[in-house]
Chains A and B, each alone.
Chain A
């Protein structure tokens, strides 16, 4: 569904990603792994259109590399960005409404569904999003992304800064999404958890893809695992 070829991402004059290529098949979960500064978030930014890039980005066989941010999103891409970025001055419910802003379907029933799956969001629905805990904000960010009923979900570092128990909750949520055949591109520093979920993974380091494979091939490779956890 998502085909990236020779992607170079720029932050101003600096090239952060040096020509990577990978694919995300429909219905699959693909991970981008790697230590800090590897270029994972830059890649996500390039796909959404926030960061300048060269190379080919094809979504559902359509070249989106020249389209502006909002147009790409409307094609069915949703993102839960690094740092969650919930709208702190809006309530939980208002955040969700914005997520589904251009979704022609009934938003309210969608919101109600989410509140069933995640009662904590429902309890706090009128609370300002800025006052939620980290884990609750992450849940909100993902729920907000899903309000548009997207075709692909980009998840950037969902485990960042969260307590292990909460991280488990979040990853259970992601697993449920996978079961519903949602296409997911997951960026994570926590390689173990990510590999458990992924059908395929790519290891990034210093802006290059240094390895790729399925969870089995990567997981059993000790040197690779060391590199993944940044110890190399």
Chain B
């Protein structure tokens, strides 16, 4: 019984992180059809900011966390302005390839301008300590991450429901041109989407750094891959889908870790992706969308 509860906690915290990452991708995709592969590099930017804070001897955790989130958000908006604006109205494939290119450029810029080697980030270690209650042993970080993700999701829901900008973003996912025809500026909607995406990346970065303790140029690759898969599972572009996909992915991963015998231990990735592939065969457009016959009325 404790084992199940323990693993459930694991699944929740894995899932929470994936959900957070997936939301960052989904919000940009839902509005402009862009698969932002550079999302991972925004996380890395947050990590490098933390390094910079340490170098400036600013070790106050609030400053470190705040700076990382701030720089990630601003970086994300800047990226949109500089790199993605020319391909704003292009087809999804063009955008995807541009994002790929931006990702590679950024990774190599980190390599070039900072260092190819991992740099330690120790200022967040304090966030992690073991907690035991009701016979469960979990890490405080897991608790924080799960709670933070839930709060983030609630805040986002409120934003999207209550504010005009949030409404505009939801409408833009359906018919961007019409949003412009009501006089709402396209630039503002896009900037907002990327700002939120960057914010989410920054928050995820805090947890990733607290766990890993170091940053390197290729840090962003694994998270963005998982975020990508989570989005696909939930239905690319759907925000609730991203959340569900994230938690589902966490659950699958924990299940595989638990079920696979020792000998196949290294194969977790392959099995996880294999399950995802099977899922996609069943529901190609993601879990939430039943397969649609082409030509059906929308």
Q: Which residues of A contact B (CB under 8 A)?
A: 48, 50, 69-70, 73-74, 79, 81, 85, 87-90, 94, 97-99, 101-102, 144, 148
Contact = CB atoms under 8 A, between A and B. Distances in A.
B181 A97 contact: no
B181 A94 contact: no
A206 B164 CA distance: 41
B175 A74 contact: no
B238 to A, nearest CB: 11
B295 interface: no
B181 A73 contact: yes
Given A50-B177, A98-B164, A101-B164, A89 B171 contact: yes
B74 interface: no
B54 to A, nearest CB: 43
Contacts of A144: 182
Contact of B171 (A48, A73, A98): A98
A98 B179 contact: yes
A119 B183 CA distance: 26
Contact of B170 (A89, A101, A102, A148): A89
The main secondary structure of chain B at its interface with chain A is helix
Given A87-B174, A89-B171, A98-B171, A81 B181 contact: yes
A2 to B, nearest CB: 16
A101 B181 contact: no
Chain B interface size, as a band, is: 10 to 19
Nearest to B163: A97
Contacts of B179: 98
Given A50-B177, A81-B178, A87-B178, A101 B171 contact: no
A69 B167 contact: no
A99 B182 contact: yes
Given A89-B173, A97-B167, A101-B164, A73 B183 contact: yes
B186 interface: yes
A73 B181 CA distance: 7
Nearest to A80: B181
A101 B184 contact: yes
B137 interface: no
A85 B175 contact: yes
Contacts of A48: 181
Contacts, number: 58
Interface in B165-198: 167-168, 170-171, 173-175, 177-186
Nearest to A74: B183
B168 A98 contact: yes
Looking at B167, B175, B179, which has the most chain A CB atoms within 10 Å of its CB? Answer: B167
A110 to B, nearest CB: 14
A69 B181 CA distance: 7
Given A69-B186, A148-B182, 14 more contacts: A70-B183, A73-B181, A73-B182, A74-B183, A87-B170, A87-B175, A87-B178, A88-B174, A89-B170, A89-B173, A90-B174, A97-B167, A98-B164, A148-B183
Given A90-B167, A94-B167, A102 B174 contact: no
A157 to B, nearest CB: 15
B180 A98 contact: no
Nearest to A147: B182
Interface in B119-172: 164, 167-168, 170-171
A6 B82 CA distance: 37
Contacts of A85: 175, 178, 181
Interface string B179-221: 1111111100000000000000000000000000000000000
28 contacts: A50-B180, A50-B181, A69-B180, A69-B186, A70-B183, A70-B184, A70-B185, A70-B186, A73-B180, A73-B182, A73-B183, A74-B183, A79-B181, A81-B178, A85-B175, A85-B178, A85-B181, A87-B174, A87-B175, A88-B174, A89-B170, A89-B171, A89-B173, A90-B167, A98-B167, A98-B168, A98-B182, A148-B182
Contacts of A81: 178, 181
Given A87-B174, A90-B170, A102 B184 contact: yes
Top 6 nearest A-B pairs (CB, nearest first) are A73-B183, A87-B171, A69-B180, A85-B178, A70-B185, A74-B183
A90 B174 CA distance: 10
A88 B181 CA distance: 16
A142 to B, nearest CB: 13
